[in-house]
């Protein structure tokens, strides 16, 4: 079975919510919709206090190229536009809406019928994707229309669909592939048209064979779509690793996937594209997995963007007694939440409750140079060395040793027998070295 070549780890999968049918979380009393879902610019509020909004109405307009629109996920009255905390612990502007009824914009097609035919031109598709505020739903939340706009002089050859879901615990993509197979395949054909490629490959880890079979069934109805089961190995869902696993091509250090002719999209993003293009439905809801070792009934839930975590937790059986840590996202790369006063953003894939017995890191010992971090690094780096240099603030040496190549997958910290916080120091180094590189560029120009 195919997989990426270098490094990687196999953490316990713990996919407790696998195969659990999606349920719908009821509407909360208030939603808090962040105007910033991604690393780009926050969007600019299009509504003001007291305004009545409908579901699907634009409430935040993209500001600049790397930015995305934001739509209201509920109908009701804008109570305020104020700062709210995101999962990183930073405060960013958000729109607070008091929910009244569930009144959708007329142009959104809410019929259950699946629309297979799309006669739009590539630039029209990209425009629709941009208008619908779609961002990468794998977690990085990079605006999708930017990824679909192929830079001058480059040519896309293959569309890669990321259904790896290599993070332990998470099953939201898995469940989506089971329940919305046909829509995902139509979404893929639309994306293929948008970037003008004849070939698409869906990569799915082999612990989800039911999803592989389901998508294979629907892929037969379209031209040029192939489903490939992959060996279960973390971080398979990382862009560069997935491209290598599926095409054998290696994205050069510092370059984007388009350098090897690939465009990568997550399956959930593909579904959002289908809804936006075929059903005029902007990105206002997503599936999240609520899970954890002590959660009585782990499951997958459709939630509106902006739903407070507390509301979801209440509806799904409450927070387990022994919870020590709550993580948004998977355990390998997710964010530990400082408080539960947060709301679902476009990139929120799960609420994971970690028992207090597993919440604290082990005691740190000396590096015993076992080289496990080097062997397991999927990027061929030397985490032990980068950490040593990070501790001593040797930034130039870190740059020489390719600290910027790190994808922060955490395999090194996961495997280290001395519990060393390797990836922490690498992140520290990346942020400092990144600033250094930017300063150098501005000085030159």
Partner 1 sequence: MNKLIVSPAPHVHSGNSIRKEMVSVLIALIPAYLVALYYFGVGAIIVSVTSVISCVIFEYLIQKFLIKGENTVSDYSAVLTGLLLSFNLPSNLPVWIVVIGALVAIGVGKMSFGGLGNNPFNPALVGRVFLLISFPVQMTSWPRPIAWNTAYLDAETSATALSALKEHLGNIPSLFDMFVGNMGGSMGEVSALALLLGFVYLLFKRTITWHIPVSILLTVFIMTGIFYLVNPQTYVSPIIHLLSGGLMLGAIFMATDFVTSPMTKTGMTIYGIGIGIITVVIRMFGSYPEGVSFAILIMNAFTPLINTYIKPKRFGEVRKNG
- Selected range binding partner 1 among 20-28, 34-42, 190-198, 331-339, rule: CB under 8 A: 331-339
Number of residues that bind partner 1 (CB under 8 A): 72
Residue with tokens 């001058």: 152
355 binds partner 1 (CB under 8 A): no
In angstroms, what is the minimal distance from the CB of 367 to partner 1?
Answer: 5
In angstroms, what is the minimal distance from the CB of 241 to partner 1?
Answer: 8
357 binds partner 1 (CB under 8 A): no
336 binds partner 1 (CB under 8 A): yes
155 binds partner 1 (CB under 8 A): no
Q: Of 252-291, which residues contact partner 1 (CB under 8 A)?
A: 252-255
Q: What does the block give as tokens for 169?
A: 């615990």
In angstroms, what is the minimal distance from the CB of 113 to partner 1?
Answer: 41
Residue with tokens 């196999």: 10
In angstroms, what is the minimal distance from the CB of 246 to partner 1?
Answer: 15
Structural contact between residues 68 and 276, judged by C-beta atoms closer than 8 angstroms? no
45, 367, 404, 436: which one binds partner 1 (CB under 8 A): 367
Please confirm whether the linkage preceding 235 is cis (ω < 30° from 0).
Answer: yes
- Selected range binding partner 1 among 101-109, 144-152, 181-189, 330-338, rule: CB under 8 A: 330-338
Q: What does the block give as tokens for 395?
A: 């930034």
274, 301, 309, 414: which one binds partner 1 (CB under 8 A): 414
Encoded one letter per residue, x for contact with partner 1 by CB under 8 A and - for no contact, window 192-231 reads: ----------------------------------------
Assign 3-class secondary structure to 327-350.
EECCCCCCEECCCCCCECCCCCCE
Residue 179, helix vs strand vs coil:
helix
Question: What's the sign of the alpha-carbon dihedral 183, 158, 280, 164?
Answer: positive
For residue 433, what is the enclosing H or E element? helix 422-444
Q: Using CA atoms, how far apart are residues 298 and 419, in angstroms rounded to an integer?
A: 29
- Selected range binding partner 1 among 124-132, 141-149, 278-286, 338-346, rule: CB under 8 A: 338-346
In angstroms, what is the minimal distance from the CB of 349 to partner 1?
Answer: 13
Q: Using CA atoms, how far apart are residues 425 and 367, in angstroms rounded to an integer?
A: 14
Encoded one letter per residue, x for contact with partner 1 by CB under 8 A and - for no contact, window 163-182 reads: -----x--------------
19, 64, 417, 434: which one binds partner 1 (CB under 8 A): 417
- Selected range binding partner 1 among 48-56, 91-99, 158-166, 352-360, rule: CB under 8 A: 352-360
276, 288, 303, 416: which one binds partner 1 (CB under 8 A): 416
62, 132, 381, 398: which one binds partner 1 (CB under 8 A): 381
Q: Which residue, 178, 380, 153, 193, is CA-closest to 267?
A: 178
Q: Using CA atoms, how far apart are residues 106 and 410, in angstroms rounded to an integer?
A: 46
Q: Using CA atoms, how far apart are residues 54 and 265, in angstroms rounded to an integer?
A: 29
Q: What does the block give as tokens for 314?
A: 């209440």
In angstroms, what is the minimal distance from the CB of 346 to partner 1?
Answer: 19
- Selected range binding partner 1 among 55-63, 151-159, 198-206, 358-366, rule: CB under 8 A: 358-366
Radius of gyration of the chain (CA): 21
Alpha helices in 234-382 (DSSP H): 239-247, 267-279, 309-315, 372-376
Give the helix, strand, coil percentages of the chain, each rounded to 5: 30, 20, 45
Residue 357, helix vs strand vs coil:
helix
- Selected range binding partner 1 among 78-86, 133-141, 217-225, 380-388, rule: CB under 8 A: 380-388
- 134 or 433, CB closer to partner 1? 433
């Amino acid at each position: 079975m195919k997989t990426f070549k270098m490094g990687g780890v196999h953490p316990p999968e713990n996919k407790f919510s696998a195969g659990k049918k999606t349920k719908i979380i009821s509407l909360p009393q208030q939603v808090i919709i962040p105007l910033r879902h991604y690393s780009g610019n926050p969007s600019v509020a299009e509504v003001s206090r007291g305004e009545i909004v409908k579901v699907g109405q634009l409430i935040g307009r993209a500001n600049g190229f790397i930015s995305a629109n934001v739509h209201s996920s509920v109908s009701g009255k804008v109570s305020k536009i104020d700062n709210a905390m995101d999962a990183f612990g930073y405060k960013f502007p958000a729109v607070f809406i008091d929910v009244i009824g569930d009144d959708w914009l007329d142009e959104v097609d809410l019929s259950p019928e699946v629309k297979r035919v799309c006669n739009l031109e590539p630039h029209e598709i990209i425009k629709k994707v941009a208008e619908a505020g779609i961002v990468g739903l794998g977690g990085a939340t990079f605006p999708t229309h930017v990824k679909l706009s192929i830079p001058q002089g480059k040519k896309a050859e293959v569309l890669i669909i990321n259904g790896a879901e290599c993070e332990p615990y998470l099953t939201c993509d898995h469940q989506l592939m089971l329940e919305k197979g046909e829509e995902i395949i139509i979404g893929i054909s639309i994306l293929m048209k948008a970037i003008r490629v004849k070939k698409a490959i869906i990569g799915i880890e082999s612990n989800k064979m039911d999803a592989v079979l389901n998508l294979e069934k629907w892929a037969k109805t379209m031209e040029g779509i192939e489903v490939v089961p992959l060996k279960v190995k973390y971080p398979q869902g990382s862009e560069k690793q997935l491209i290598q696993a599926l095409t054998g091509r290696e994205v050069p250090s510092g370059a984007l996937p388009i350098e090897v002719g690939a465009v990568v999209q997550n399956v959930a993003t593909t579904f959002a594209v289908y809804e936006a293009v075929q059903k005029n439905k902007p990105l206002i809801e997503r599936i999240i997995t609520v899970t954890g070792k002590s959660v009585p009934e782990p499951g997958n839930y459709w939630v509106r963007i902006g739903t407070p975590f507390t509301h979801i937790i209440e509806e799904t059986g409450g927070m387990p007694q022994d919870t020590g840590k709550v993580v948004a996202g998977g355990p390998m790369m997710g964010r530990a939440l400082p408080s539960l006063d947060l709301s679902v953003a476009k990139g929120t894939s799960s609420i994971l409750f970690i028992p207090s017995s597993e919440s604290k890191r082990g005691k740190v010992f000396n590096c015993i140079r076992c080289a496990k971090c080097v062997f397991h690094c999927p990027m061929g780096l030397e985490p032990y060395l980068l950490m040593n240099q990070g501790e001593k603030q040797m930034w130039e040496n870190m740059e020489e040793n390719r600290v910027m190549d790190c994808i922060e997958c955490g395999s090194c910290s996961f495997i280290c027998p001395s519990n060393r916080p390797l990836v922490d120091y690498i992140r520290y180094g990346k942020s400092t070295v990144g600033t250094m590189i930017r300063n150098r560029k501005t000085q030159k120009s």
